[in-house]
Structure 1
Amino acid sequence: MDAQRHIVHIDLDSFFVSVERQFNPSLVGKAVIIGGSADRGVVASCSYEARAFGVHSAMPTRQALKLCPHAIVIHGTHGRYSEASRKVTEIIHRSVPLYQKTSVDEFYIDLSGMERFHDPYQIASDLRQTVIRETGLPISFGMGSSKTIAKMATNQAKPNGQLRIAHGGEKDFLAPLPIKKIPGLGENTCQKLYKYGIEKIGDLQRVNLMFLETVFGKMGTYIYNKAHGVDDSEIVPHGERKSISTENTFHQDVSDAKTIENILVSMTEELAGKLRKENKVSGCLAIKIRYANFETHTQQQKIALTAAEHILIPGIKALLYKAWNTHRPIRLIGVKLSNLCTGSYQINLFEDNEERIRLYQAMDNINFKFGDKTVCRAAGMEIGARTFNPFLKG
């Protein structure tokens, strides 16, 4: 018989709102929306008081204010959230042997095997109290035999609570919950299931696997397993890379500013797409240029956390002209994004208007399905596939 797993999912409740309330206690108990401007911005986070009116993250701010006109809108402060997330990460890092940070406010912890020494639920409870005591932030956790059960338990425990699902009790815990509570189940999939009269997870548990595979293909197996609490995915140990970079060497030295700018746009797009794919943001830009005599110059600049090209590209271009003596041809050019941290989607909601967010999501979805650079900016397209560019080496 396999050893029992003890997986904990930790979520900082209304994280951005909770951090802002520490700096402005008058916000406590009020409907708060954090995100972009009221006309074209998007909700990055909101308080439970605002959620009661139907407000949720990624909703256009103007729509949120129609639902909850009395809400207080705050633009948000990147540094505060990064610092609060760092403090929580440090507490978890010193307290448990294996954890995975999946966003600025969300963690998975594997306490499997710890039952030989201590009660895993007590370890998780003590950790939660330590975080509350040392940071003042409300926090919830769920505990179960898998990441899926733990995450769904956390959602049931919120706000500011904790819940343990006993081994063997997974199906009973899941059965009364709506199917939309299953992580990763999109609206379209739910609508299809509703047509078959499947509304609760318990309804799904009674459905034949072959039926789900016929209707949904491979996704049917995923749905079936989730409904039965089956999830063998592992906790990936915490250890994030801190930078991402790319560089190109020219076959012939290049002095044309437009050509160099277009190549920089393409390189920056490529790196930004990778960041968004990995749910990361960058806090520092850097550029490297090398002349024919191998003399190398670099420039870097700290920025607000982002993975958005409309912010990264102008910054990279500005660094180019700080580093480059435009009278001298360039042999090699490189772009580096560093000071990486997790949680790009939420943080990008602060700086991008609604249209831009939809554009990035659409671009990323197409590039994910059909390959990088299927869609990109016209400037990046000019240098397109590198194999066809006479200036670039392989």
Structure 2
Amino acid sequence: MASVKPVPVFDGHNDVLLKLRGAGGRPATRLFREGSDFHVDLPKARAGGFAGGFFAIFVPSPLDLAEMKAEMDKPEYDLPLPDPVPQEAALPVVMEMAALLMQLEAEGALRICRSVADIRAAMGAGEMAAVMHIEGAEAIDPEFHVLDVLYAAGLRSLGPVWSRPTIWGEGVPFRYPSTGDVGPGLTEDGKRLVRRCDAMGIMLDLSHLNEKGFWDVAEISEKPLIATHSNTYAFCPQARNLSDAQLDAVARSGGVVGLNFATGFLRRDGQMRAQMPLAVMLDHLDHMIGRMGEDHVALGSDFDGAVVPEEIGSVAGLPALIEAMRAHGYAEARIEKIAHGNWLRVLETTWGG
């Protein structure tokens, strides 16, 4: 009996470039091509129908990740926002990670996509489609010189903040229980950045921005509101998750929310543990579809940046989630929208084609 071809998944967020940097940088691209213990690599992608997505460029803070995970296993936690990263420290890291993405393209591992036509062409050719994304815009100067250069290199998506302050605004802490209504909104520079990204056709990602910043973007931006990897506060009261009012605003704008696979933002207890049934992910999807409609819900895994459900494990496990959607009663047309169609639609609007 012939095997069923997996439903193609275009994903809102992964951190595999950070993993490659930590594994040695340029020499480590072999791991991506040939196989690794990462969530995302070529062999696993082929097995799981991972067609591509947003590849994050992220400047890490000097955090003790083991200590962070231990905190997020407690019934309540409140990790303070890390210190800001100066632009002169962030820029070399961003250049290094952008160069890693370019090297992967040069080696034939993926295609950097600057338009929806590029994404469709890559998917049609069986190539991994990669959108260059920045998570936390510390490397960008107020005059936008770096932004212009990165755009020429392929940057098409940008999150003004990670969960730490920048000159553009302030992110949400890893705090449970908590809403995202913490700290001030966008700075005046942040408002300028929103307008500049709108004009250039760079997608703005609201996933780590606090609630006041979210509403600032909603007021200023003329483009759809997008949170690449966020979940619903109604099922997990974590500061990173979106309130019903925010979900409603995303839908009104024609935007999209990508379901984050990070278990600490899915589980009702807010704990970052892999032991979690896929039914919890379906609870979040049901709620988001109920509030926003099926045209505004996508996937934003956070692969290689978070603990994901053990039933998925990596991109090779994506068919388990697709099959869970089927068993839950989702029609094939809805599954196709969530898996990739809604991302392509919203990017056509945001990028202009």
> TM-score when scaled to structure 1?
0.25
The structure with the greater share of residues assigned to strand is 1
Q: Which has the higher contact order (CA 8 A, sep 6+)?
A: 2
Larger radius of gyration: 1
Report the TM-score, using the length of structure 2 for normalisation.
Answer: 0.27
